[in-house]
Chain A
């Protein structure tokens, strides 16, 4: 948590990327991933009793881990040189693959004969490995997920986000050659869901079906809301935040921001709109990504909740798709919306005595909101 605050607070006003909530550092252009057996314990659940079987992508450690580690969405991938290679180790007993809607993998997709099982080249079951290569990456927010038997493998948890910037701090090339798509801070909100009955079905080929698919848990960045929740860092007053929305659920979700300024929705699926749309909510279809610019003018925790009301969590009547977008002043290391002596102490702890940062964040002027 300290690490997250550190990266947040170290942002100067100009163009440096903020880390996303999922605590994974930026990685190199070749990504080593593994598809593994994991499990997820719902909040309030009993360990060793209530776990739900999951499959997930993790950073490959060189060998397949023992099943049963806690599931999270796959690491956020952030290629920066326009190309992407994923070496995939399959630790599952079923074939798996990786596809990125909106990016086209190299290698001619084989003409099909017969009934398709994967939307892209498969990697055979354990212990096989596969290589997936994309060149000429398009800028934007995307989702990577298994393209094999997707009606089962996606709900099992085989997905993650991938972000491609046009340049550091710039989301898309701007045809008007202005700075319209530049941003100071960033928040990633990845929406997904879990149906325990489907995931726990021992027949690993059985898929979600129209009459029986019934998710009970609704997640943002892999977690349902659970009070007291950790807010999502969402920038400074007076600075521009880029909110990257992505939905890998099988249902639509509609994040709505309360009490804050409107968003300017600038793109979907990695393609900028001809004109920004001014809205207080977005409509995220299954598989959809959207990018929105948000210019908060005050500190605070702004609720962003699913307006299609998936706000329950299993047997609990609270939870689901609610998050708090935290707008705080730079230098607010402890996240209490107040920059004071406690933050100065933390600052010293993080950098060590005698370390002078390149920018004195305490002196940045954000108007009367921040000192």
Chain B
């Protein structure tokens, strides 16, 4: 049976939002998150206030799943005190003392009041308050009668000694609570981080744009059973869902596709208030994208990024570098880094990778030849490939790529004016994707049959970035969905900042 794409009104709404988003240009090229209060000294630590609450998230098949989330309850809050999936992305700087104050407001309909907690793999954490748990100190629910005030509040303190990508999650019955939604990302900027010249780990790890890919999954059966019977009821263990885990929803940054390609924050609409983050990577040719890939829940995912290899530069917040040979020179890669076309995301592990694309070596001009007879009805604009300088240094000698500020920065000039090699079939014989602009050339559009295309209004090159466990490209039996997003590489004339 075939499920037609975009057939229900929920999806149409989201697609409209995507279109508006792409036309308007996105926010900054940095990751959405919160930076807490405080300067980061031991006397004035960077402080976050998180509270665990329950609500429901939305999946793109029209489903709704009860979840437990960390809410940013700082003053002022970043998401109206709502619990969110994933939890707020915490962004701090290397060397800062960080303090997270956790409050527990879980009140289940069954009367259960489970403890919650946070663990921070990769950090050395001191926990005070609350009650003792197996992995760390835990916060009891505030309304447990007779509980002294301080057993409902836990303070976790650590020094962010090393830059990198990390995560945090519940340390109380993780197989249940992380599944329920208690997970989030932690980003530590290198000391002296300058947002105008950002690096991941200092010199040698410069990038132009960064995107978070927090991958996770859910089995709604667990959520329904917990909601109906409570987390300690025998019914939950009888499902075998925790020992023989079988996921049915897959998320990027807390949303299933295509919801993850809508706007971030409240402008995504009322169905996504508890899922504030999106995943809509965009870049220009020649830019460096930093991919922060995190395995959020308990399954591995092979993250395949169409378009080019990515260079893995760090794992678990540690640069893949021998540390010998002195400090890295600008642009020099960590010397133990390696390239992949599919990033293996392991639960609990974090991977940092750099992705770049120019179309080098395709042997035809990706911007098109303006008098190519095959495209006479939708000719691409003429352009020059002007290469006088090295794009990294700004001075001679030329590096083979179009210079900044010219028609086509980072165009591979050796392929300039080479004709498109094949004859495309007539349109009646073709099916078109929503992200096809109607032209094979970057930055050009072409006529399409009515109703086709439309999601790529600037004629960029679009690539699906997705889990290569293709079963995970569904939302509980509905294809497409799940763990996928589209990277759009836009011509330099398109403002994406």
Q: Point out residues on A near B: beta carbons under 8 Å.
A: 214-216, 218, 227, 252, 254, 256, 258-262, 275, 277-281, 283, 303, 305, 307-312, 314-318, 320, 322
Residue in contact with A309 in the complex, picked from B178, B240, B315, B349, CB distance below 8 Å: B178
- Given A215-B243, A262-B122, A309-B174, does the pair A252, B348 have CB atoms closer than 8 Å? no
Task: Give B349's nearest chain A residue, CB to CB.
Answer: A281
Bound CA span A318–B172, Å: 10
Name 22 A/B residue pairs within 8 A (Cβ), A-sorted: A215-B244, A218-B243, A254-B347, A254-B349, A258-B135, A260-B124, A262-B122, A262-B318, A275-B336, A280-B121, A281-B349, A305-B174, A307-B346, A307-B349, A309-B174, A309-B179, A311-B175, A312-B175, A312-B242, A316-B237, A317-B176, A322-B134
A176 to chain B, nearest CB (A): 13
Chain B contacts with A in 314-370, Cβ cutoff 8 A: 315-316, 318, 322, 336, 346-349
A325 to chain B, nearest CB (A): 13
Bound CA span A254–B124, Å: 20
B125 interfacial contact with A, CB 8 Å = yes
A49 to chain B, nearest CB (A): 18
Task: Give B346's nearest chain A residue, CB to CB.
Answer: A283
Task: Give A285's nearest chain B residue, CB to CB.
Answer: B300
Chain B contacts with A in 230-274, Cβ cutoff 8 A: 231-232, 234, 236-238, 240, 242-245
Task: Give B162's nearest chain A residue, CB to CB.
Answer: A262
Residue in contact with A275 in the complex, picked from B238, B243, B244, B322, CB distance below 8 Å: B322
A133 to chain B, nearest CB (A): 38
Residue in contact with B316 in the complex, picked from A259, A281, A311, A314, CB distance below 8 Å: A281
User: A317–B236 contact, CB under 8 A?
Assistant: yes
Specify which of A215, A275, A277, A311 lies most central, judged by the most chain B CB atoms within 10 Å of its CB: A311
User: A317–B125 contact, CB under 8 A?
Assistant: no
Bound CA span A88–B209, Å: 61
- Given A262-B316, A262-B318, A278-B318, does the pair A308, B242 have CB atoms closer than 8 Å? no
Specify which of B135, B178, B242, B348 lies most central, judged by the most chain A CB atoms within 10 Å of its CB: B348
Q: List residues of chain A with CB within 8 A of the CB of B245.
A: 309
User: B316–A315 contact, CB under 8 A?
Assistant: no
User: A214–B240 contact, CB under 8 A?
Assistant: yes
User: A279–B318 contact, CB under 8 A?
Assistant: yes
Bound CA span A124–B294, Å: 49
Q: List residues of chain A with CB within 8 A of the CB of B136.
A: 258
- Given A262-B316, A307-B298, does the pair A312, B237 have CB atoms closer than 8 Å? yes
Total of A-B residue pairs, C-beta within 8 Å: 98
B119 interfacial contact with A, CB 8 Å = yes
Q: List residues of chain A with CB within 8 A of the CB of B124.
A: 259-261
B173 interfacial contact with A, CB 8 Å = yes
Task: Give A261's nearest chain B residue, CB to CB.
Answer: B124
Residue in contact with B299 in the complex, picked from A279, A308, A312, A320, CB distance below 8 Å: A308
Bound CA span A227–B135, Å: 12
Chain B contacts with A in 468-487, Cβ cutoff 8 A: none
Q: List residues of chain A with CB within 8 A of the CB of B346.
A: 254, 281, 283, 307
Q: List residues of chain B with CB within 8 A of the CB of A283.
A: 300, 346, 349
A118 to chain B, nearest CB (A): 29
Q: List residues of chain B with CB within 8 A of the CB of A281.
A: 121, 316, 346, 348-349
Bound CA span A317–B315, Å: 31
Contact with A along B115-126 (1 / 0, CB 8 A): 000010111110
Q: Which 7 A-B pairs have the closest CB atoms?
A: A307-B348, A309-B175, A309-B298, A278-B318, A311-B175, A214-B244, A279-B316
- Given A216-B243, A281-B316, A281-B349, does the pair A311, B173 have CB atoms closer than 8 Å? yes
Specify which of A252, A262, A309, A310 lies most central, judged by the most chain B CB atoms within 10 Å of its CB: A309
Q: List residues of chain B with CB within 8 A of the CB of A259.
A: 123-125
Residue in contact with B173 in the complex, picked from A214, A256, A318, CB distance below 8 Å: A318
User: A315–B237 contact, CB under 8 A?
Assistant: yes
Contact with A along B159-202 (1 / 0, CB 8 A): 00000000000010111101100000000000000000000000
Q: List residues of chain A with CB within 8 A of the CB of B123.
A: 259
A111 to chain B, nearest CB (A): 37
Bound CA span A318–B174, Å: 10
User: B237–A256 contact, CB under 8 A?
Assistant: no
Bound CA span A235–B240, Å: 37
Q: List residues of chain A with CB within 8 A of the CB of B238.
A: 315
Q: List residues of chain B with CB within 8 A of the CB of A262.
A: 122, 316, 318
Bound CA span A278–B348, Å: 14
Residue in contact with B134 in the complex, picked from A215, A227, A277, A310, CB distance below 8 Å: A227
Bound CA span A252–B301, Å: 13
User: B316–A312 contact, CB under 8 A?
Assistant: no
Q: List residues of chain B with CB within 8 A of the CB of A305.
A: 135, 174
User: B318–A256 contact, CB under 8 A?
Assistant: no
Specify which of B134, B136, B178, B242 lies most central, judged by the most chain A CB atoms within 10 Å of its CB: B134
Bound CA span A307–B336, Å: 26
Q: List residues of chain A with CB within 8 A of the CB of B336.
A: 275
Specify which of B178, B243, B349 lies most central, judged by the most chain A CB atoms within 10 Å of its CB: B243
Chain B contacts with A in 100-139, Cβ cutoff 8 A: 119, 121-125, 134-136
Bound CA span A256–B348, Å: 8
Given contacts A280-B122, A303-B135, 14 further A-B contacts (CB under 8 A): A254-B346, A258-B121, A259-B123, A275-B322, A280-B316, A281-B121, A281-B348, A283-B346, A307-B349, A308-B347, A311-B173, A312-B175, A315-B237, A317-B231
Task: Give A227's nearest chain B residue, CB to CB.
Answer: B134
Task: Give B344's nearest chain A residue, CB to CB.
Answer: A283
